[in-house]
Every structure is written in C-alpha cells, then in structure tokens.
C-alpha cells in the first residue's frame, strides 16, 4: 500500500460508527449472552430481510463467502454457461474458477457500467444456466428487462449487491429483484459489520435449508429422514432425541462440504445498529454526490454515471467519465496533485491473468475496456468526510476540470490554426 496521506481520502472507512454501535457492543461485552449464534444474528437477519423485501436473509462472514455459498445453490454442472459482468470486483466471479463452466463476459452500458439487457440477450444459448450481475457503484441494473429475459430462457440471476444497499429500483430494493442476492459489509461498504461480513437474500425455502447447513459446517446433501430404529428406546436427555434422529437419517446425494461462515454476535450487533442508521448515512452520500454533479454540469467533456430515472443510486462509488484523448489521465493527475485520492474501480475482469488463462482476451467487452482505460474515474464520496473536506473536494474538482479544459483548448488551437 502506498504511504501517502490525502486531504480528501477515498475512505479509510465507508461508514461511520457511533453511540448506537457502542451501546450494542457494550450490552454484548458486559452481558453473558453467547458471542456466536445468539439472538443478535437473528435480529439482524430479520431486519435485513424486511428492509430489502426478501423472504430469507442469512448472514455470512464476508461478501465473498456469500457469493461462494449462493453460487453453490445454483447447482451448476460441467458444460453449463454463465454470463457475468466484467466490471466488478473479482469476488463476483471468482467461485466460477473452481467449476467446469464456461464464463461469457457481457459488455456494459457506457452510461451506467452495468450489463445491458441487449448484450445479455446476445450471449444467451441453450446452455446458459446463470447470470451474475452487479449494481455497479450502487447504480441499479435494468432488472425488469434482465429478469424477464432470464425467465424466458430458464436462467437463474444472482445480484451482487455489495454496492447496492440503500439503492432502489422501481420502488423495490436490490436484494429482492432476482433469484438470489449477496451483500458485503466489509470496511469500505455503505454499512459495515465491524470490518467484514456478508448476507445472502432470496425467497426459496429449500435454499434456506441448504444454506443453513452449508454455512453451519454441515454437508450440503440430500437427506432422507428415517424412522428411529426403536421409537420406544428411552432417551437419557431430551436433546438426545435430536441426535438419534440425525443418526438414523440417510444421505442419498452429497453436493458439497459445508463450512463455518457464522457471523459473530459482535458483528451482527453492529450491523443491526448500522442498519438503523442507514437513511442518515445515505443522506450524506447523496448530498456529496449532488454537489459533485453540480460541478460536472459546468464542463461539457465530463459526465457523471447516470442512474435510470426510475431508480435511486446508493452512491457507494461516485463515478464519472471524461471524454477526450488523454484528458481522464490529466484530470486524475490534477486531482492527485491537489490531494484528492482517486480510485479506478475495476480493471475489466476478463483481462486479469486468471481469466486470460481461461481464453479471454482484449476486444471481448469493448465498452468496458474503453471506459476503464480511457474515461472512467471514481471520486471520494462517503460519510467519513468532514464538511470542510467536502468543500475542499468540490473546489479542487472545479479547479482541476478548469485546468484540464484550458490545456485541451490550448492544444486544440494550433491544430485549428494549421487546419484553417
Ligand atoms: C462488487 C463486489 N462484490 C463482492 C465483494 C466482496 O465482498 P467482501 O470484501 O465482503 O468479501 C466486493 C468488495 O469487497 C465487491 O465490491
């Protein structure tokens, strides 16, 4: 990691913790309730399911583990095809490296960086089994068109909602817009469960049973309940009834070994407190994004990522696009010189070594490639910024854009004179 401190950092934390989190942790630390698998996890899960509008919400230890578990539930078979966005963090598609499936990376829309329904349709074949999408930066993807397409072709849709907590799509929330969804509460996200954590949301009851086993160190298997061998055998202690029943059950198919993905009570307690503060946290993100939008409107060569009119952006990332040869890099340097930390999220995944090894190459997703290499940048936008830092950011952005515009006009003038 570069040792450089910025006047306006992209965010040591994506969220702000306060008295509600301290109270929850104090109650937990000073009490004698269990520190794992207690009531905080249940309460967090119930509140989360209610918020996003899903029947089930199950915590896990990270967004990555949530995605691994969700993908396990899809029952992918060798030879299946999975369509995936290349414009995301590697964890979205990483679990597919372990499977003998063909991944077809789908190009993105230049306004949103989300996969476009038309590009998805062009990639669907009779072998397509699943689609992995991300609501990039918190901007909801066009879910109605995508899920209608998927339903017509029998394709399961996974929403990676790592950025999308706080977003809305046609009055509903990401997490309830497709077959299954995964959230991350890692340090940088809109809310956090003490640095790491994740959640899987969906409606299917059979998946809830399987996921509960998978995350709880049990085997993901088909289990046929059997009668106890001797129903009249006396039990030494009441709970032994449960043990006896388990021993007499029969496994008819093993899908995969489970793991321990149990979220700690401390993490869940903080998650619940953070959820209670979500509207306020989102309000700060919206207000910063609004001020940055206002600056961009003064310059014709730059535009913000545009959420569709029927949706609400979660502003996990503030993304803008700079048009004109070399101008994005000039703006990046001008902002960096002024102490504003810039990010470029994310390098197109199909060009990473592991996916090139699998046969993917440049030219496969031309829009995703040209946006990342030439146009796109992410500005700081998070509730950890003090008002004075936001004022500084707004001013530094305006000055940097004016500087880049003046340089571009200066370079264009001799060319115009030569042409004239
Ligand atoms: C789009 C996306 N998916 C998945 C993840 C993985 O989440 P985690 O870091 O909680 O494992 C992240 C971020 O970290 C992400 O940005």
- Contact in structure between 194 and 166 (CB atoms under 8 Å): no
What kind of fold does domain 278-409 have according to CATH?
Answer: 3.90.1150
Tell me the CA–centroid distance for residue 198 and ligand 1, in Å: 9
Q: Tell me, yes or no, if the two domains 19-218+257-275 and 278-409 fold the same way.
A: no
| CB neighbours of residue 243 within 10 Å | 11
Query: 64: Cβ below 6 Å to ligand 1?
Result: yes
The residue whose CB lies within 8 Å of the most ligand 1 atoms, and thus the one to mutate among 86, 91, 317, is 91
| CB neighbours of residue 403 within 10 Å | 17
Query: 155: Cβ below 6 Å to ligand 1?
Result: no
Q: What is the pLDDT along the chain (420 residues), one digit of tens a residue?
A: 455 789 999 988 999 999 999 999 999 999 999 999 999 999 999 999 999 999 999 999 999 999 999 999 999 999 999 999 999 999 999 999 999 999 999 999 999 999 999 999 999 999 999 999 999 999 999 999 999 999 999 999 999 999 999 999 999 999 999 999 999 999 999 999 999 999 999 999 999 999 999 999 999 999 887 766 666 766 777 777 666 666 678 889 999 999 999 999 999 999 999 999 999 999 999 999 999 999 999 999 999 999 999 999 999 999 999 999 999 999 999 999 999 999 999 999 999 999 999 999 999 999 999 999 999 999 999 999 999 999 999 999 999 999 999 999 988 877 666 665
For ligand 1, what atom is nearest to the CA of residue 136? Answer: 1
Taking the model in full, what pTM does it have? 0.95
Query: 162: Cβ below 6 Å to ligand 1?
Result: yes
Determine the straight-line distance between the first and last CA of the chain, rounded to whole angstroms.
Answer: 50
Tell me the CA–centroid distance for residue 186 and ligand 1, in Å: 7
Strands 102-105, 318-322: pairing kind: unpaired
Tell me the CA–centroid distance for residue 281 and ligand 1, in Å: 19
Query: 193: Cβ below 6 Å to ligand 1?
Result: no
Task: Supply the CATH classification number for the domain 19-218+257-275.
Answer: 3.40.640.10
Instruction: Look at residue 238 in the predicted model and tell me its pLDDT.
Output: 72
| CB neighbours of residue 318 within 10 Å | 24
Query: 160: Cβ below 6 Å to ligand 1?
Result: yes
Write a three-state SS string for 301-352.
CEEECCCCCCEECCCCCEEEEECCCCHHHHHHHHHHHCCECCECCCCCHHHC
User: Six-digit token pair at 330?
Assistant: 């000039």
The residue whose CB lies within 8 Å of the most ligand 1 atoms, and thus the one to mutate among 135, 186, 316, is 186
Q: How far apart are CA 339 and CA 140, in angstroms?
A: 31
For ligand 1, what atom is nearest to the CA of residue 91? Answer: 4
Domain ranges, ordered by start, for the chain: 19-218+257-275, 219-256, 278-409
Tell me the CA–centroid distance for residue 205 and ligand 1, in Å: 25
Residue 295 main-chain phi, psi, to 5 deg: -65, -45
């Amino acid at each position: 990691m570069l040792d450089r401190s910025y006047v306006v950092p992209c965010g040591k934390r994506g969220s702000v913790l306060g008295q509600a989190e301290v109270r929850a942790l104090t109650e937990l630390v000073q009490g004698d309730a269990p520190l794992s698998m207690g009531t905080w996890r249940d309460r967090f899960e119930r509140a989360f399911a209610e918020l996003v509008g899903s029947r089930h919400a199950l915590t896990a230890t990270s967004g990555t583990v949530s995605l691994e578990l969700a993908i396990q539930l899809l029952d992918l078979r060798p030879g299946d095809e999975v369509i995936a966005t290349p414009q995301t963090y590697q964890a979205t598609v990483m679990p597919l490296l372990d499977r003998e499936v063909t991944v077809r990376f789908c190009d993105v829309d230049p306004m949103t960086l989300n996969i476009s329904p038309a590009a998805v349709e062009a990639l669907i074949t009779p072998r397509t089994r699943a689609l992995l999408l991300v609501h990039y930066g918190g901007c909801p993807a066009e879910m109605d068109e995508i899920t209608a397409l998927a339903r017509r072709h029998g394709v399961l849709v996974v929403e990676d909602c790592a950025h999308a907590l706080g977003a809305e799509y046609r009055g509903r929330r990401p997490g309830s817009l497709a077959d299954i969804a995964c959230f991350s509460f890692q340090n940088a996200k809109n809310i956090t469960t003490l640095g790491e954590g994740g959640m899987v949301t969906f409606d299917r009851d059979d998946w809830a049973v399987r996921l509960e086993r998978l995350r709880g160190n049990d085997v993901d298997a088909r289990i046929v309940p059997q009668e106890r061998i001797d129903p009249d055998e006396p039990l030494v202690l009441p709970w032994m009834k449960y043990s006896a029943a388990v021993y007499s059950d029969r496994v008819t198919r093993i899908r995969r070994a489970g793991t321990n993905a149990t979220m700690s009570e401390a993490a869940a307690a903080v998650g619940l407190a953070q959820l209670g503060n979500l509207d306020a946290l989102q309000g700060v993100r919206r207000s910063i994004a609004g001020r940055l939008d206002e600056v961009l409107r003064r310059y014709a060569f730059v535009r913000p990522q545009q959420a569709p009119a029927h949706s609400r952006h979660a502003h996990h990332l503030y993304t803008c696009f700079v048009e004109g040869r070399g101008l994005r890099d000039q703006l990046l340097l001008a902002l960096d010189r002024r102490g504003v930390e810039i990010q470029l999220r994310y390098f197109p995944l199909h060009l990473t070594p592991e996916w090139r090894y699998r046969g993917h190459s440049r030219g496969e997703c031309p829009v995703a490639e040209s946006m990342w290499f030439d146009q796109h940048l992410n500005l700081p936008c998070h509730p950890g910024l003090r008002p004075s830092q936001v004022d500084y950011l707004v001013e530094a952005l305006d000055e940097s854009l004016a500087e880049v515009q003046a340089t571009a006009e200066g370079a264009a003038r001799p060319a115009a004179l030569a042409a004239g």
